[in-house]
Amino acid sequence: MRKYALSLFVLLAAPPALAGIPAEQEDCLGCHSDPTQTFDLPSGEKLPLFVDQEKFAKSVHGEALRCTDCHTDKTSDHATGKLEFRTRREVTIKYYEQCKGCHFANYTKTLDGVHYAVMSKGNKAAALCVDCHGAHDISHPGQPRTRISQSCGRCHQKEAAIYAQSVHGRASETNPDVPVCTDCHRAHDTTDPRDGALAMRTPELCGRCHGDEKLMKRYNLSTSVVSTYLSDFHGMSASFQRGQKKADGKRLAAVCTDCHGVHDIQKADDPQSKVMSANLQRTCAKCHQGASASFPRAWLSHYEPSMEKAPLVWLVQLFYRFMIPFMVGGLLLQIALHLWRVVVNR
């Protein structure tokens, strides 16, 4: 009788469920709508038990899932049970794999990511699903888009602060065209930037936007930056020596981020830009020790050779454009005449 009376009291005391929340949720939200409700863990931490009904109703799961779809081990009398966790993080890790029931494809991607690799080595602070997406307030990915960088910034504070001051970061608040963290690092199968593989992919990554003619036209930027990079000595070396390293572990060729920066990319004419003419010698010296003030002039700065820009290089290219076909054609003609003479004299 007491149990029945308690259940009746919970139902009567519970605030009405918001639109979008399944009727089955009312029992759970009747208790978990108290903002002051917590559970004392053995670690001394307090585990919040409050669920904001309004936020949950607006979340992507508000109309789709019941509480027990994720909290599968919970029953109506679970409050009398014992909690087997010592810390709040252990609770998060416990429910981390519940996501794979619906999102198996993305879950399997995380197994190839750096966060899972770090967690598998014993680092319990590595990011899990709820750390990035939230728990009861999950929204559609990228809505708002700035939330992506803010989520990453909770762990990667230093990088997020640098990115916020970059040309991409300053525009990310209002411009959906600029890249955020996941555009370069990917979302679920985030790669480890320390192994060098990501750096060698930067021409491809940067080229997705900077090679898009329609997109670059909006900002009056050239789309030839990738093609000119691949045709000069840096790009050619990177193409032929991809994945190879020197004995000291350093890469054999410079890629986009070596010159422009990683999270701190600025406009080319910004005084803080690493490729600004006043800063270019110092940038080159990172790889080319002892580079003189005239050293950067050997680089065409993504310009295609012309009579206005690098006329000597343009003239040499023009010379070889005619000379090579002439030499090859002359050689083929000589062979043909020789064969013809052999046939005639037989």
Measured CA to CA, the distance from residue 254 to residue 258 in angstroms comes to 6
DSSP one-letter code for 101: G
Is there a contact between 209 and 217 (Cβ–Cβ < 8 Å)?
A: no
> Whose CA is closest to 329, among 337, 318, 317, 340?
337
Predicted pLDDT of residue 307: 83
In this structure, the number of other CB atoms found within 10 A of the CB of residue 338 comes to 10
| Sequence-ordered list of residues with C-beta below 8 angstroms from that of 106, at least 6 positions apart, any chain | 187, 188
Tens-binned pLDDT, residue by residue, of the chain (346 aa): 444 344 433 444 444 444 455 555 667 877 888 888 888 888 888 888 888 888 888 888 887 888 888 887 776 656 655 667 788 888 888 888 888 888 999 999 999 999 999 998 989 889 999 898 988 888 888 778 888 888 899 999 999 999 999 999 998 888 889 999 999 998 899 988 887 778 888 888 999 999 999 999 999 888 888 888 988 888 888 877 665 555 455 667 888 999 999 999 999 889 999 998 889 899 999 888 888 888 888 888 888 887 888 788 888 888 999 999 999 999 999 999 999 988 888 7
In whole angstroms, how far apart are CA 300 and each of 17, 51, 67, 92, 228? 65, 59, 61, 52, 9
Is there a contact between 41 and 87 (Cβ–Cβ < 8 Å)?
A: yes
Predicted pLDDT of residue 77: 59
| Residue 48 bridge partners (DSSP) | 38
Predicted pLDDT of residue 329: 94
Residues in the chain: 346
- The full DSSP string for 276-288 is SHHHHHHHHHTTS
Predicted pLDDT of residue 2: 40
pTM over 0.85: no
Rg (Cα) of the chain, in Å, rounded? 30
Predicted pLDDT of residue 115: 93
| Residue 39 bridge partners (DSSP) | 47
> Whose CA is closest to 196, among 120, 253, 156, 236?
253
DSSP one-letter code for 189: T
Which residue's entry shows tokens 């002892």? 290
In whole angstroms, how far apart are CA 150 and each of 50, 173, 176, 193, 272? 23, 11, 15, 19, 24
| Sequence-ordered list of residues with C-beta below 8 angstroms from that of 34, at least 6 positions apart, any chain | 49, 50
Environment class of 118 (CB within 10 Å of its CB; exposed 0-12, middle 13-18, buried 19+):
middle
126-154 burial code (b ≥16 CB/10 A, e <16): bbbbbbbbebbbbeeeeeebebbbebbbe
